């Protein structure tokens, strides 16, 4: 039996808990896999990585299990950048993802200082706030900062200099974009630029809220994912049907 597997990748410094409970909001016959990047959650025994190529390879190793799986990828913020690299690696290997969902991200080279690992908390937190990526608890909880900011630094250092347009094969996939209307790092104009580059764009979904809009509207986002991925699956089915030979007299 062919399985539809939806892979969810979190933001910088985050974990799979961003998507806690989503499996109950998505079709019961889908396999929903929320991943932890190295250094946190179920991958806490693996050192955090500061390299996009290594991160993409490690995450793919956990979800590629054979030809009978229809794989779809959804990522938020840094996770969106990562899933584009994962998708391009799959395309190069001849195992194209069925669908790609990109949230809170616009396809631009990240404006990340090359020495982000050396930034003090006092300098890093304003950067995160400017990008819309600072949960309020980080600003007030010193203990939480001590746990999360080293992971944020590693994740952002991986993005420093990463150009998602160096390999554009992910843009050829069925694609949906998601964002909060008040996300300072993924505005409507920037999303429109990315949307114009995607020949198989399905939808641009805008929600009330900021960078973490999806924590406030999980059911709405899940419904949109269900609809768009369902469309992409139907496209795949039509494309895979054998074509009838025609005769000419």
Checking if the pLDDT of 200 tops 80, the result is yes
Q: Give the DSSP H or E segment for 205.
A: strand 201-207
Q: Give the DSSP H or E segment for 135.
A: none
Checking if the pLDDT of 202 tops 60, the result is yes
Confidence of residue 148 (pLDDT cuts 50, 70, 90): confident
Confidence of residue 51 (pLDDT cuts 50, 70, 90): confident
Question: Within the chain, where are the H helices?
Answer: 52-63, 78-92, 121-131, 136-140, 142-159, 188-196, 218-240
> Residues with Cβ < 8 Å from 177, sequence gap 6 or more?
101, 102, 103, 191, 194, 195, 201, 203, 204, 205
Checking if the pLDDT of 199 tops 50, the result is yes
Burial of 206 (0-12, 13-18, 19+ CB in 10 A): middle
pLDDT mean over 24-31: 96
Checking if the pLDDT of 140 tops 70, the result is no
Confidence of residue 228 (pLDDT cuts 50, 70, 90): very high
> Residues with Cβ < 8 Å from 62, sequence gap 6 or more?
33, 35
């Amino acid at each position: 039996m062919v399985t539809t597997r939806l892979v969810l990748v979190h933001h910088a410094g985050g974990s799979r808990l961003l998507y806690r409970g989503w499996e109950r909001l998505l079709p019961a016959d889908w396999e929903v896999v929320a991943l932890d990047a190295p250094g946190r959650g179920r991958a806490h025994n693996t050192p955090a990585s500061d390299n996009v190529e290594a991160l993409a390879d490690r995450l793919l190793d956990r979800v590629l299990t054979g030809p009978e799986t229809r794989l779809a990828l959804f990522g938020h913020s840094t996770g969106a950048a990562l899933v584009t690299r994962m998708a391009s690696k799959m395309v190069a290997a001849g195992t194209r993802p069925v669908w790609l969902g990109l949230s809170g991200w616009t396809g631009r080279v990240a404006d990340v200082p090359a020495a982000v690992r050396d930034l003090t908390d006092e300098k890093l937190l304003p950067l995160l706030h400017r990008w819309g990526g600072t949960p309020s608890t980080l600003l007030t909880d010193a203990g939480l900062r001590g746990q999360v900011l080293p992971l944020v630094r590693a994740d952002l250092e991986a993005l420093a200099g990463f150009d998602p347009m160096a390999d554009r094969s992910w843009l050829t996939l069925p694609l949906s974009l998601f964002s909060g209307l008040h996300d300072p790092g993924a505005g409507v104009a920037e999303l429109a630029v990315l949307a114009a580059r995607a020949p198989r764009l399905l939808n641009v979904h805008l929600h009330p809220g900021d960078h973490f809009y999806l924590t406030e509207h999980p059911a709405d986002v899940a419904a949109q994912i269900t609809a768009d991925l369902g469309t992409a699956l139907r496209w795949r089915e039509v494309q895979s049907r054998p074509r009838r030979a025609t005769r000419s007299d």
